[in-house]
Structure 1
Amino acid sequence: MDLRALTLFVGLCSSVPSVSPAEVRLVGGPSPCSGRLEQQRQSDWKPVRDKNLDWNLKKADQVCRRISCGSVVSFRRTLDQEPPQDLVTRYDFRGRRVSPRFRVEITCSDSVRLENETHLCSGRLQVKRNQVWSSVCSDGFDQQDAEVVCRELGCGSPSGFEEELYGEAPEWIPEFRCGGHESALLHCERSDRDTCSPGTTVTLTCSDPGVRLVGGSGRCDGTLEERNWDEWSPVDYPDWKLWSASFVCRDLDCGSPLSIRRRETGSKSISGLRYGCLSVYRNYCFGAHQTSSGVIELTCSDSVRLENETDLCSGRLQVKRNQVWSSVCSDGFDQQDAEVVCRELGCGSPSGFKEELYGEAPEWIPEFRCGGHESALLHCERSDRDTCSPGTTVTLTCSDQVRLVGNRSTCAGELQMKVHGEWRPVVDWYWNQKWTSAVCSQLRCGSIVTTDLEDFGSKRPVWHFKSSCFQSAISLQDCLLLNNVIESSRSLQVICSDLLVQPNISVSSSRLEVQQQKVRVLLGSNFSIICSTRPQYPGGSFQLVFNSSSSTLNYVLPAVTHSAVFLFPAAEGLHRGTYTCIYHLNVFSHNFSSSSRPIYLIPSAPLMDLIIRLVVHLLVMVLLISVTCFYSRKYSVETRSRNEETNVVAELQ
């Protein structure tokens, strides 16, 4: 055993009373660097129990280094279903009885660590190669590489990295080329470099926000955990709101909160938790062992946010580029772009956007060219602009107060309103058609079709209205009763006229030419007009409406798999005109319809046919001219001959 290993070994034994001077290991996990902590006593392996509740991440990190597994990523206690025979009842500093029935579970990084004696999320970066830890050469190490390392170590986002000299320390020579999304540094692409300055290694510092999201689709989605007393623990608080969640999203550098939900998990012990303490004052929370029946699951936006201290759905638009939040240049930003942003943030429809000056704020220069249907702003097409006025950034406001949910259309469902970041169903016996029409209009869903109160059985918090408010209030929010928590099993169901999405119309033919809204098909060829719609509700029918200068025709077919195909065996001149698809559907005991954009169809001959016809025309004209000239000349000759004969006869007489 070398001197460094011996030093770590002695430190482990002196700081962790439950581990005797013997071998330790992690078992039951996906790798030798993850699982339950066990120690060897003579020839048997025994689980390590935290009798005094004094285990923390620092001690767990010593175990990781002892077994050559890098840095600690997470540590937790689990209930021991088989308590030891030497069970002794203890009392904590608050006078409560504590039983040592917790086993220790540790997850270490397998091949990456930050070498530092005092801080778990800062130090000289090292990777394990052939079971030897090597410092990483600083040449070529960038922000994306740092992002992957910090995430792999469970340490938040990188707050800085620099080049430092460590003499002749062994170095990892290949250059990492991470994209920033990889789960581990060794999953990144690598390239062999030609040179690496001797002894120049990376020193990296990661932020440690004290919270994290685990088990989701990425670092900005998952079950919320908080670090208390150097231990990661799930968070459970039934009345946690989106506004409180916004602090977590910002701490994780994840933009704005999109959704928050509480998932029942059954009664279990949670360590290091104080209900309702996750907010600005999180650093003043104290951990305690409690029993919980659920966990909080949070989803934050990954790459888009509206910068505002008081409103989640209004503010300066920013996107994340190369892990840096940049304000969006206002030049070229339009209504379709705003629609995508508001929908991505779960904030309804845009109610306004404007250009504002923010000095020399970093700006996102490419121009977004959204169609309005994209699910995320970064999914839109982009084009590089030539100029962007310095400091002119977009300030966007979304209408986030009203929505209809629980249906396949955003224009039908349970009416909900948001106040102070909280969505609740709306219930009131005094509701009238005037206010429902205002809801449909605000949501750009046409006019009101019907409203109804439905009973869902279980009670939940709802918004109630003041009965005397409807005649004088300026907006729906003015009528809400906000002082008391009112629970009800009922909710208001609203259906607006624009229930259906706009259908699509297209033309299919073997000889086809499309120019904007005009479609050219070959004369005499067969063609089809296809009507389709996005799946919302089953059934329905498509009406194809044809308008020309001389007639109007209608064709109707049932919708099969949300589409219908209208066949035309041969294109003729009489098919020239405007075509529109109208989708009809009876749902919720009402008839609804939605029209597509129109297209103009032109039956025409192919270019070669036109050329041949032109050539034939020219040949016929040349032939006619030649014949005319021939007969004209012949007539002139005959006339001249007659005249000469007449003159000769006259002279003889």
Structure 2
Amino acid sequence: MRMRMKALEFYPVVIIIALSMRIPCAFGLDVRLIGGPDIYSGRVEVRHDGVWGTVCDDGWDIQDATVVCRMLGFENASIATGYAKYGEGSSSIFLDNVHCSGLETDLGECSHNGFEVHDCQHSEDAGVMCSKNDLQVRLVGGQTALEGRVEVFFEGSWGTVCDDLWDLNDARVVCRMLGFQIAVTAVTSAEYGPGSGSIILDNVGCLGTERNLAECPHRGFENNDCGHDQDAGAVCANDLGLQVRLVGGQTALEGRVEVFFEGYWGTVCNDAWDLDDARVVCRMLGFQNAVRAVTGAEYGEGSGSIILDDVDCLGTEHDLTECSHNGYEIHNCGHSEDAGAVCANVRLVGGHTALEGRVEVFFEGSWGTVCDDLWDLDDARVVCRMLGFQTAVRAVVMAGYGPGSGSIILDNVQCLGTESNLDECSHNEYEIHDCIHNEDAGVVCSHESPLEVRLADGPNSREGRVEVLYQGSWGTICDDYWDSKDAKVVCRMLGFNRTLSARGRAAYGQGSGPILLDNVVCLGTENSLAECSHSGFGVHNCGHAEDAAAACSIEDTTSELFEVRLGDGRSRNEGRVEVFYNTSWGTLCGAGWGLREADVVCRMLGFTDASDVLQNAAFGEGIGMVFLEGISCLGSENSLLDCTFTSFDANSCPHSQDVGVICKDTGALQLSTIRFDPTTSLGHPEHVFQGMPVPSAENSRSFSPVSIVLGAILAASYVLFLLLGLYGYHRLRKLERMTNNNSSEQPTSKGTGSPEAASAYLNLTSPSRKSTETPGKEAPGELIYMNLEVPENTIGGDQVYTDLSFTKGNDQEGPRPKYKAPMKPPVGRKPKSGRLGSPDRIDPSPLTQHDPIYDKCD
């Protein structure tokens, strides 16, 4: 009975331990974008328990946005937005402090506070702008880059467009995709020759305002009733005035410059012709820069009129008509002075500005990419110089600006950095490579002349509205995405080594003149705003009411002058966050705080990371200044000063919003296992400290491969413990039934055992059975004798021989089980704790080495 009670105690312990193991598991969420201008952008909403709700923008970044966009079927995210950019939601706020690595396939795999656990309003609803899954288009078979058969890239190969319903509106979209301003003609009936491969589109019906052919209605991809004799084409131009072409060169990149005027083609005289003029021509043809300005009819003498003479461009114009010249057909030249140009066979694609992007080269009439094998800064310098920039800031690898399409033209490029063209560098033969487009190379270039910056209309020279000098004029910066990292770059450009605040909404008054930059995104380490991502010079959607500002200081911000501590906590790893600055202690504003910000604080204090964030002065209100309003950290920073924040001095934040944290103290939690007591038949659980911290489910960040493996191990342990408990319980029930059946019989015989036995043994025999059953009737269970012999020095010094017999199998008619000899009570010391034998003997009892309970129970 005591043994039964021990097993009954053991069984629930095993089950409780098994059920207490937490196994991480991922769950799927439904997500949608609401309130955006198109299907690619909008406010992020997730569905939980059948209801749609929003996501708070605390800690919301591009990694989180990438996961959302991937869930919606887009390749990537271009912008993560906050402050309800796409309007405020109206239902619940479901998620806050979302933290994704960017590799997850579902928001449910990212860490967050828990559903409906937040400190936000709908004015903080998060949004995204996803990268568009656009079609790529090219013109093939024309004499210039402005004309040709329309081909689109679909599922890894180029194909044509059928001319059914093809008109000028469709051509306008194609030309706009290629960077041209207008479409001159919609071409039908394979005028530029029949293509090959698939016919990708048919019955295209654009309005002419679409940004990409994929947005126009059509019959569906590769669904058509056409032949290649109906391939569509287009003729593009950059304005309604001049068209330009290169004639007489070996490739489309070079030749004699000819312009189309009043219905016919003519040449340009080389008087005053230089590289700036050639740049404008190349830009009109869709190339990004000119390599050389050609004079002296190097590509042969033209015929017809000489249209232009004394052309004088700055190099920034979009068209020759914007340049100074004598007037149409006014010249003093002959065709021996016909001008020409050589355009750069390289361009940058996929970047946020003209300074960066995936490197593509022009080869045999089409654009292709460069593999990143051996790609370095020397190679990038040559590319940037070809495009008219002063130098390269970075060589980008692993398709940092997205994978390209079409051919991979160059591989194993090795430049010295002094070459004027990639063709002069060492590389494999054209289109000989061992790469895929995930290895496409890119570059980040710097401007030929650095930007100048100033702070205007502030109370002193250290703060004010940010203005930049571009092309001779001062202009402002829009405050979209403006934060302390951007302001840090401005302060560095001005010689200051500390940033006090980044402000928007024309905090120092509205500027005048152009708005030069918008959507500026800096890392904070750049030496110039020109190295930061932005929409492009003069490209914006702002008014001067959104002018950005910055406040700088000459004071140092080293860790010796900026310390952190925890106040009024119950232990060393918790409390109100306080910082030491300017000889006094102050608190931090809790608005926007999450675990990532708390992680930085805990790491500054020597802990590994944080387990919780407590808002609203949970550890009491502090005194002194309140610092760092609107802070946002990635969680990997070494100091709070490395995070972004809207203002260093949070004067508008009261002490009732003082933030507190609880840091993880190493060794606080331990794993426990089960150890079996070798002095008992079944054993009992013992807690064994392994010295390994146990992370809680609430603070779990994300499911890495390691955590997945640990989860599998925990799951296996769960099943093992459960089966062990059920097995022990099953064996105990068997033993109980055996004991109940035998208890009704009286002992009938007694045997003696050999005193020389060295240890207990089990002897099973099958004696002859006197059967009384009738023929044809199933015989009762086989009679089994269990002879257990115990040496005399094991139980009280007496020899005891026990012979038990019982039926094997189910209870049936026949001889009843009986004891052949009773167990002789031990003489001397009584067993302790219900155990057989003396537990304090030096030699262990043989019963603990060979227990009959485990020999035959079923």
Structure showing greater relative contact order (alpha-carbon pairs closer than 8 Å, 6 or more residues apart): 2
Larger proportion of strand: 1
TM-score range for the pair, normalised by the shorter chain length? 0.3 to 0.5
Computing the radius of gyration from Cα coordinates, the structure with the larger value is 2
TM-score of the superposition, structure 2-length normalised? 0.29
